[in-house]
Structure 1
Amino acid sequence: MAKRRKAKQRDARHPRLWGRHAVEAALANPARRFRKIWATHEALAELDMPEGLPVEIAGVQDLARHVPHDAPHQGIVAEVEPLEDIAIEDLLDGAADGRPLVVLDQVTDPHNAGAIMRSAVAFDALGIVTQDRHAPPESGALAKAASGALEILPWCRVVNLSRALDQMADAGFWRIGLAGETDMTIGEALGPAKVALVLGAEGEGLRPNVAQHCDALARLPISDRMESLNVSNAAAIALYAAREGNGS
């Protein structure tokens, strides 16, 4: 069984998930622990709730006080324990089947990170690796954007991303950093090895030290009429290219 590091309270509070899809996904995750659920009668009637969960009936206006302003709670809010971290060694131990890894270098926006998680699950990625800092914590916004992927995608948080990239190389991964200023395309950079796709924050891109720990820097072959793509869109295209390049 994979070893997991103890979960950390990065934002000094327990995450609150909202919306039917996010809460349903959390309910289906045996590793998720619930502290409390607030819901309307109508929302509860549409969910298959396990027995023993602490549930409080609440009105729509009451629910709005438990989430950020204008969050689409759809009649249900859940306060949960953060998921336990996965050690990088355990994540890499499961890499024998050739599935790609997604590595995020200081992508801090929860909507982008959540959308990348969703694409990672859609294209059967092995998992996602972020820094322990400079990455979004678990939150309702992240879970909403991930559309259930938060509960099923292995997520490894590391202190030193460059050291983690070295460990990926030792595990046989070909590390491709996405960068717009290089001539090589993603298709040209792909090879027979397992792939780790490394993406940097919008605007800043990959940090120099992280780029130096990549085996190749590659760009997406987009039209000259568009300077760049949103990082979550770029991740989805790169994951598709990696899957096609691997013959999946």
Structure 2
Amino acid sequence: MPGNSQRRNIRQVSKKTATKGTGGKGKDTLKGRGKTLPADERPWHKGYSGTEKLPSKTAWKQDKERKAAAAEGRAPKIGKPGTKDTTWGKGGTGKGAPTRRTQAARGAATRMGPRVAPGRKSLTPKDAPELLVGRNPVVEALRAHVPATALYLAQGIDIDERITEIVRTAGDRGIPILEITRAELDRLTGGVLHQGVGIQVPPFAYESFEDLLAAAAEHPEPLLVALDGVTDPRNLGAVIRSAAAFGAQGIFVPERRAAGITATAWRTSAGAAARLPVAQVTNLTRALKQAQAEGFVVVGLDADGETDLYQLEAAVGPLVVVVGSEGRGLGRLVGQTCDLRVSIPIVSEVESLNASVAAAVALAEVARRRATA
């Protein structure tokens, strides 16, 4: 007989047929589980913000999150997001504390974005905290009540009066103080000279341009500085420092394709960014026309300008000095908007000056004219 159906001791197992329906036995599995609760309403989640006693596992998770946040210099991700303003600068209210950690705090994260700032290699350039380094910049930041979220000190650091003031101020304000090795601080800052100290600060809050313009117009000697496409934050910081030194009431820069106030710009300004208002404008040409409507004379620095800087009669009145970018100088529309295009006399074979140097020379001449007027 074909096959082995007649084989002795064979074990035959009947195949189970498909079950039709649930037969009333599995109806509970057909019921929906309802909506998914948000994190702050789940007692087992670390983000739970209820008033009831937490389960031991949840309490352990929240305690772990607080310790991790303190070590990384950020706010713990526990409870509902607050509305406390954590931005800094002379601008208005910010949008709250950032929720993403920077690479400085996280360690080996992927670098993103073209701008390189000390300790700033974050996922979101506009929303992420900054690591501000250097003894003078850190002292200036704390004196200006910049809302720092963490203080980093290198082990074995040389103690002077600035470090003493930094530590005392941080302790008085409840800022977490983290002592790390110098090699670790070198890694966090990307090799930038940090002098053994750094603070983590939230994003800079810019001044409203309308407020900046109104405050300058009320000054006895109105003077503003505008930057057209300056992309190097070090040049921005140097211009801020020169503007503060020669009596300008503020600076305004474009929002796009231009450097903003980063840790690098702050360090280069030697803390002047804490004292001088900085505004961002959507359209620089429109902002310059608005300043002209308020009685300001707009002068643009241009190597081919028709007016000699030393012959600038308008320097004694309300003035806006426009500094062009490092490579192309003034943009076409910005140049056409300027009332005057001013050139700086150069006696050697040098083709042009650095943007920050040109700004310093022009502002120094404006200050000299006003002092002798």
After TM superposition, the runs of 4+ consecutive aligned structure 1 residues lying more than 4 A away are 7-10
Cα deviation 1:137-181 (Å, max 9, x = unaligned): 332321221111121111011111011101111221110001111
What residue in structure 1 maps to residue 130 of structure 2? Answer: 15
SS of 1:128 mapped into structure 2: strand
What residue in structure 1 maps to residue 344 of structure 2? Answer: 220
CA-CA distance at 1:234 after TM superposition: 0.5
What residue in structure 2 maps to residue 84 of structure 1? Answer: 205
**CA contact under 8 A between 1:112 and 1:231: conserved in structure 2?**
yes
Q: Which has the larger radius of gyration?
A: 2
**CA contact under 8 A between 1:105 and 1:198: conserved in structure 2?**
yes
2:272 aligns with one of 149, 160, 164? 149
Cα deviation 1:72-101 (Å, max 9, x = unaligned): 111111110123111111111112222311
Cα deviation 1:160-210 (Å, max 9, x = unaligned): 101110111122111000111123112323324211000111220000101
Return the alpha-carbon distance in structure 2 between the equivalents of residues 137 and 20 of structure 1.
22
Is residue 201 from structure 1 mapped to residue 322 from structure 2 by the alignment? no
Return the alpha-carbon distance in structure 2 between the equivalents of residues 233 and 218 of structure 1.
15
Aligned length: 245
**CA contact under 8 A between 2:301 and 2:321: conserved in structure 1?**
yes
Amino acid at match of 2:92: R
CA-CA distance at 1:47 after TM superposition: 3.0
Return the alpha-carbon distance in structure 2 between the equivalents of residues 72 and 181 of structure 1.
38
1:4 aligns with one of 83, 92, 107? 92
| Percentage of pairs with the same residue | 32
1:211 aligns with one of 327, 335, 352? 335
1:35 aligns with one of 146, 149, 162? 149
Which of the pair is proportionally richer in strand? 1
Return the alpha-carbon distance in structure 2 between the equivalents of residues 98 and 11 of structure 1.
34
Return the alpha-carbon distance in structure 2 between the equivalents of residues 111 and 185 of structure 1.
27
CA RMSD of aligned residues (A): 2.0
What residue in structure 2 maps to residue 119 of structure 1? Answer: 242
The TM-score normalised by the length of structure 2 is 0.62
Is residue 62 from structure 1 mapped to residue 150 from structure 2 by the alignment? no
Mapping for residues 141-180 of structure 1, pairs under 5 Å: 141-180=264-303
Mapping for residues 37-56 of structure 1, pairs under 5 Å: 37-40=151-154, 42=157, 46-48=163-165, 49-50=168-169, 51=172, 52-56=174-178
Return the alpha-carbon distance in structure 1 between the equivalents of residues 95 and 137 of structure 2.
20
SS of 2:327 mapped into structure 1: coil
Return the alpha-carbon distance in structure 2 between the equivalents of residues 93 and 63 of structure 1.
42
Q: Which runs of 5+ in 1 are unaligned?
A: none
Higher relative contact order (CA 8 A, sep 6+): 1
Is residue 72 from structure 1 mapped to residue 207 from structure 2 by the alignment? no
Return the alpha-carbon distance in structure 2 between the equivalents of residues 217 and 77 of structure 1.
41
Return the alpha-carbon distance in structure 2 between the equivalents of residues 207 and 117 of structure 1.
21
